[in-house]
């Protein structure tokens, strides 16, 4: 019984002290002290999205708007095996490759619509086939070049990994022209 009386007295004393403190006037800081600094928001830990965020900075363009060359002859290539160009068979042999002014439609997936065009494979003065070419401007060649490119004014025909595709790679006027064909 003594324990309940002591505990009840202690609770009453704490309650009385709390009400007495609540009724006293708030103390003001002395005039000679500097005002308290504003609380700084805590930085969020890595992976924590609950912290304060600022608006993202505008990113600069990575390259200038490229310009595509007009229609022109790109060079001569020799295809070592039969391939399909635009869904049609193209026999093995040598072809003159011409860049057309026609943009690839419907839009071919690439860096810029202007840089996705059609090339024609010409044999004996007649167009034997055509395919989409991706033009890589000389300002962007370092961004995409992994293999050894053909020499300036030259061409390279490669069978790609797996043996199902052939890449025709032409270097003309500082630009690269890449044509990807399916083996027949």
Tokens read off for 105: 């439609």
In angstroms, what CA-CA distances link 166 with 3, 6, 80, 83?
A: 94, 94, 10, 8
Tens of pLDDT, residue by residue over 39-96, are: 555 555 555 555 565 666 666 556 566 666 888 999 999 999 999 999 999 999 999 9
Has residue 36 got a pLDDT over 90?
no
* Percent of the chain whose predicted confidence (pLDDT) is above 70: 57
Radius of gyration of the CA atoms of the chain, in A: 37
82's CB contacts (< 8 A; 6+ apart) are 89, 90, 91, 92, 183, 184
Tens of pLDDT, residue by residue over 4-25, are: 444 444 444 444 445 544 455 5
User: Model-level pTM?
Assistant: 0.61
**Which of the given ranges, 16-20, 71-75, 111-115, 137-141, has the highest pLDDT on average?**
71-75
Write a three-state SS string for 121-172.
EEECCEEEEEEEEEEECHHHHHHHCCCCCCCCCCEEEEECCCCCEEEEEEEE
Has residue 145 got a pLDDT over 80?
no
Helix (H, G, I), strand (E, B) or coil at 178: strand
């Amino acid at each position: 019984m003594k324990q309940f009386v002591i505990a009840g007295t202690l609770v009453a004393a704490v309650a009385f002290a709390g009400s007495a403190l609540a009724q006293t006037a708030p103390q003001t800081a002395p005039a000679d002290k500097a005002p308290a600094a504003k609380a700084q928001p805590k930085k969020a830990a890595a992976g924590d999205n609950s912290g304060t965020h600022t608006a993202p900075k505008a990113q600069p363009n990575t390259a200038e708007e490229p310009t595509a060359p007009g229609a022109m002859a790109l060079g001569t290539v020799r295809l070592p095996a039969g391939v399909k160009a635009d869904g049609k068979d193209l026999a093995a042999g040598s072809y003159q490759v011409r860049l057309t002014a026609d943009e690839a439609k419907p839009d071919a997936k690439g860096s810029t619509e202007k840089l996705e065009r059609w090339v024609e494979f010409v044999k004996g003065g007649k167009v034997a086939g055509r395919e989409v070419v991706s033009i890589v401007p000389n300002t962007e060649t370092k961004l995409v070049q992994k293999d050894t490119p053909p020499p300036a004014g030259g061409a390279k025909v490669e069978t790609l990994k797996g043996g199902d595709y052939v890449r025709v790679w032409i270097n003309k006027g500082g630009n690269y022209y890449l044509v990807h064909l399916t083996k027949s």
